[in-house]
A and B are shown apart, each in its own frame.
Chain A
Amino acid sequence: MSDTLIRTPLYDEHVALGARMVDFAGFEMPVQYGGILEEHLATRESVGIFDVSHMAEFRISGEGAFDFLNTMLSNEVNKIVDIGAAQYTLLLNDAGCIIDDLIVYNTGLEFLIISNASNRFQDWNWLYEHKPDNVEMFDETDRTGLIAVQGPKALGVLKQIFGPSWEPPHRFHIEPATIDGKIDVLVARTGYTGEDGVEIIVHKDDVVALWRMLLSFPEVSPVGLGARDTLRLEMGYSLYGSDMDITRDPISAGLGWACPKSKEGYTGCEALKAIRETGPSVRLVHLLVENGIPRHGYSVLHEGKEIGTVGSGSHSPSLGKGMATAYVPAEFAEPGTELEIQIRKRTVSATVVKPPFLVK
């Protein structure tokens, strides 16, 4: 493993827990502690905690911040003018292709953007180049730790940490909180697993204490990137780099909902109008596979002819079946369409389904 990999403030905790560490987006991250299945089910049934400190955080402030973000982001930023509101949104280029997907939070003091670790510098540069003088940007990534706390028992555990009077923020909202009057955090009712829970933004000097505090509850398990991937894929949540990238537009990617038709004047808007008019030539589909595990790069076939390749592919621990995403010609995108996936020497049947794979 290269010694140039970045370590999050929780690195020593992961190693002490016996995690298998891998290179992920230039970070040395835990892929699993015990087993992926076990961690996946722990999150579905109890509470899983995830070190997501590798994700990038930018603070955007100043008089022009709202107008700037409204021009740069695809979703309606005016829907998060209330303090504490958050929104899933896309960063597009002029061609209407996806630079990144991210969540923007209105903390009251400023806008906070959390984006994919692998796109940190690309996003930063794109925003910074377009920034007017009355907007300030600050890259908070190296100063903060981020822990996702996800699962049906997550809020119960958090109540014990924050105190009985603590109420969780509403879904897709963020609020400050304090632990023992000492540790200041931002609690966001967001996540990437399909479970209820929060993501906690904390100063890097306090993240180890918070991690240990969470793990002191018997219902809490540490969960690695392996299960994070199976959890999000079961819910049909797209992952940058697998389900979308700079060559894809939001309409093809099934993310048109994050680019409302009623919104005008943002980067990529005109290009999207043209795509909406003609309809995209390809679409991202979700494929359920009964007999085998599809993996990234495998061929997707229709009557023996290759029509696409698997973007995300894995085993669904909740369903005990294979699941995949792929871009295929739009005529094959209808739910119920029967396709095939080439799994090494075998060709197995795959059915286009409407996401999520796991209906909760």
Chain B
Amino acid sequence: MDMPKDRKYSIDHEWVIVEGDEATIGITEYAQDALGEVVYVDLPDEGESFAVGDTFGEVESVKSVSELFMPVSGEVIAINDSLADAPETINDDCYGDGWMIRVRIENESGLADLLDAEAYLASIDE
């Protein structure tokens, strides 16, 4: 399975790229594959704040719904608007154009719990 090493992963199948005090968040290859063809994404508004573990949105395939959980705590500073019209981008390029939100990290909570690629891969193999 495709597993970029330039980022961290949550056990809830989100990926996170941390650059300074900003984090970009999306879902993993494993998550998009389990969902099947994504047809709808519900993302928060810019300016909303979330704590680690909060639900920040939902992603739906034809047959199932999955909540999106915050891997870090912070304020949403950007959302990927293009997903509203092209939710299938999440299937096509979950680690790139299928990113979901960018947040300003408010504190360190959650960061230490994130897994590297190898540990995440091990967690989904269990």
Chain A, Cβ-Cβ closest to B85: A320
**Quick check: B42 and A317 within 8 Å, CB to CB?**
no
A230 at the interface (CB under 8 A from B): yes
Residues of A within 8 A of B58 (CB): 344
Q: Which of A35, A230, A295 contacts B36 (CB 8 A)?
A: A35
How far, in whole Å, are A295 and B36 apart by their CA atoms in the complex?
17
A305 at the interface (CB under 8 A from B): no
Q: Which of A292, A314, A346 contacts B62 (CB 8 A)?
A: A314
**Quick check: A36 and B60 within 8 Å, CB to CB?**
no
**Quick check: A36 and B40 within 8 Å, CB to CB?**
no
**Quick check: B63 and A37 within 8 Å, CB to CB?**
no
**Quick check: A36 and B62 within 8 Å, CB to CB?**
yes
Residues of B within 8 A of A344 (CB): 58, 65
**Quick check: A317 and B62 within 8 Å, CB to CB?**
yes
The answer to whether A292 and B39 touch (CB under 8 A), given A36-B63, A317-B62, is no
Residues of B within 8 A of A38 (CB): 37
Residues of A within 8 A of B36 (CB): 32, 35-36
**Quick check: A31 and B37 within 8 Å, CB to CB?**
no
Question: What secondary structure prevails in chain B residues at the interface with A?
Answer: strand
Q: Which of B37, B40, B61, B63 contacts A292 (CB 8 A)?
A: B40
A59 at the interface (CB under 8 A from B): no
Residues of B within 8 A of A315 (CB): 39-40, 60, 62
Residues of B within 8 A of A35 (CB): 36-37, 62
Residues of A within 8 A of B62 (CB): 35-37, 40, 226, 230, 314-315, 317
Residues of A within 8 A of B39 (CB): 37, 293, 315, 317, 320
Chain A, Cβ-Cβ closest to B64: A295
Interface residues of A in 279-332 (CB under 8 A from B): 292-293, 295, 314-315, 317, 320, 322
Tell me, rounded to whole Å, the shortest Cβ–Cβ distance linking A21 to chain B: 14
- What is the count of residue pairs linking A and B with beta-carbon distances less than 8 angstroms? 39
How far, in whole Å, are A35 and B36 apart by their CA atoms in the complex?
6
Residues of B within 8 A of A293 (CB): 39-40, 60, 65
Chain B, Cβ-Cβ closest to A226: B63
How far, in whole Å, are A284 and B42 apart by their CA atoms in the complex?
28
How far, in whole Å, are A105 and B61 apart by their CA atoms in the complex?
37
How far, in whole Å, are A230 and B36 apart by their CA atoms in the complex?
15
The answer to whether A37 and B60 touch (CB under 8 A), given A292-B42, A295-B65, A346-B42, is no
How far, in whole Å, are A358 and B60 apart by their CA atoms in the complex?
21
Interface residues of A in 51-108 (CB under 8 A from B): none
How far, in whole Å, are A230 and B61 apart by their CA atoms in the complex?
12
Residues of B within 8 A of A31 (CB): 63
Tell me, rounded to whole Å, the shortest Cβ–Cβ distance linking A90 to chain B: 29
Most buried by A among B42, B58, B63: B63
Residues of A within 8 A of B61 (CB): 36
Q: Which of B37, B42, B65 contacts A36 (CB 8 A)?
A: B37
Tell me, rounded to whole Å, the shortest Cβ–Cβ distance linking A168 to chain B: 31
Tell me, rounded to whole Å, the shortest Cβ–Cβ distance linking A224 to chain B: 10
Tell me, rounded to whole Å, the shortest Cβ–Cβ distance linking B57 to chain A: 11
Return the 8 tightest CB-CB contacts between A and B, nearest first. A36-B62, A37-B37, A35-B37, A315-B39, A315-B62, A293-B60, A293-B40, A226-B63
Residues on B lying within 8 angstroms of A by beta carbon are 36-37, 39-40, 42, 58, 60-63, 65
8 contacts between A and B (CB under 8 A): A35-B36, A36-B37, A36-B62, A37-B37, A230-B62, A315-B39, A315-B60, A346-B42
